[in-house]
């Protein structure tokens, strides 16, 4: 039986913890699993005394498409947004600087994730948008 590959890859090299959003099939959407893995990586980086800085980056052409809408229709519709806010708070409160390295599209909740970082470095392929308005929603 094969193990499911992680949606967030975590590595540490020379004092730099790197968290890579690695779910390009759904444009790195903030599924409950991806958010849980991101929170785990942030916690590990925060506890590791050898880590001096955290870099948040991505695979594929999209840094983050925002909420995973396939999960939005099941269960409590407020659960994932509340968890995302908690994750953003984890980024803000991390006792080490968090730098986002982006070279792709950033949408909706992905912008919130970037806003929580201490510094964002965006490459020439980066685009930014609050797409919730197309769904008749307002970002909060």
The tokens for 92 are 């803000």
**Six-digit token string for 116:** 């929580």
132 labelled catalytic: yes
Catalytic residue among 39, 44, 71, 132: 132
Q: In what order do the strands lie in the sheet with 62-64?
A: 62-64, 105-107, 127-129
- Give the whole-angstrom CA distance, residue 107 versus residue 111: 6
Which are the catalytic amino acids? Answer: 132
């Amino acid at each position: 039986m094969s193990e499911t590959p992680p949606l967030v890859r975590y590595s540490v090299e020379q004092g730099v913890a790197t968290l890579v959003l690695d779910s390009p099939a759904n444009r790195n959407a903030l599924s409950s699993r991806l958010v849980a893995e991101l929170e785990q990586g942030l916690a590990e980086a925060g506890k590791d005394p050898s880590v001096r800085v955290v870099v948040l980056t991505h695979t594929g052409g999209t840094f983050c498409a925002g909420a995973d809408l396939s999960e939005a229709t099941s269960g409590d519709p407020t659960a994932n947004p509340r968890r995302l806010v908690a994750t953003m708070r984890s980024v803000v409160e991390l006792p080490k600087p968090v730098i986002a390295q982006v070279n792709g599209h950033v949408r909706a909740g992905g912008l919130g994730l970037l806003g929580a970082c201490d510094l964002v470095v965006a490459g020439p392929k980066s685009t930014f948008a609050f797409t919730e308005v197309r769904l008749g929603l307002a970002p909060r």
